Amino acid sequence: MAAAAVAASGRFRRQLMRRLLAPTQPILRFDPRLMGSSAHGETSKADPKETPDHNYESLRVTSGPGHVLHVQLNRPDKRNAMNRAFWSEMVECFNKIAKDSNCRAVVISGAGKMFTSGIDLVDMASDLLQPQGDDVARISWYLRNLITKYQETFSVIEKCPKPVIAAIHGGCIGGGVDLVTACDIRYCSQDAFFQVKEVDVGLAADVGTLQRLPRVIGNQSLVNELAFTARKMMADESLSSGLVSRVFPNKEAMLDAAFALAAEISSKSPVAVQSTKVNLLYSRDHSVAESLNFMSSWNMSMLQTQDIMKSVQAVMEKKELKTVNFSKL
């Protein structure tokens, strides 16, 4: 059976390539009607469905149309402050999402009036300010392990192969900046502001902002100013600096756009999309030569996917990609 399937696959590829290379075949041109028409009909207005595999104290995870998951910071009465449960639940949540073959894109937002007020100092004080022990080396070892654990809370978003879209409204303070800079795409509403708050509570940001923000906005002077002063960066400045790619008049419009974008992404080949994310991140952290070598090694297997044939055939037949049945990944 396996040999027959491989042979059939080879015949299909050869037939499709003959069609592509035939002299009578019309030249394929970009048709904007093929882009995005499926996504824009699928917005946040769709009824969300609870996901039985995700039960958390600080998060709410629902599924929408188009293989999209919605992860909400869900402590609205506490301005989505990051309590002790949050730091472990985010890791559990995104480790599950990374392995979820039904999910192809993720939207992160905050319930209530703001995205997040940052770390919940009341809940976390005993861990951070009153570590156990009376030996400097052992207390330091404990704190190092704790900080490393908290760093993984946001690194797990970056490691997840599914594209993650942050939809930010109201305040995005302290740990919120750590979170959104680990995401792949950032949208915000006009009332949003960003604040690297850590210096105001006597510490240097230590779970991602100082490492990712300079790479995201590419302006070291601005990063230094924000980190040294803890001043607010409002929506328009965040757009002009490159922290976000779009600003919307209100939260509802922003969420509609974020879910439309997620649905658009999820209509593409999951092999292509997830391979793209992996290689973009690798290229960020390596030289051009190293990244090209990694890319050739990666695509030596990924180019053999049936998704290429399905995508090309859909374009040739002027079908929308949402009609293509891509296998789970």
* Per annotation, catalytic residue among 97, 119, 185, 217: 119
* Per annotation, catalytic residue among 206, 237, 252, 320: 206
* Per annotation, catalytic residue among 66, 175, 176, 208: 175
Q: Say how far apart CA 133 and CA 231 lie, in whole Å.
A: 36
Count Cβ atoms below 10 Å from residue 108 Cβ, excluding itself: 25
Task: State the Cα angle at 308 between 307 and 310, rounded to 5°.
Answer: 65
Can 175 be counted among the known catalytic residues? yes
Can 165 be counted among the known catalytic residues? no
Q: Say how far apart CA 72 and CA 61 lie, in whole Å.
A: 6
Can 53 be counted among the known catalytic residues? no
Phi, psi of 40 (to 5 degrees): -75, -10
* Per annotation, catalytic residue among 191, 198, 256, 264: 198
The structure tokens listed for 79 are: 């301005």
Count Cβ atoms below 10 Å from residue 148 Cβ, excluding itself: 12
Identify the CA nearest to 175 among candidates 284, 286, 58. Answer: 58
* 8-state DSSP, 46: S
Identify the CA nearest to 196 among candidates 206, 182, 184, 188. Answer: 206
Count Cβ atoms below 10 Å from residue 301 Cβ, excluding itself: 10
- C-beta separation of 59 from 90 below 8 A: yes
Can 202 be counted among the known catalytic residues? no
* 8-state DSSP, 94: H
Catalytic residues: 119, 175, 178, 198, 206
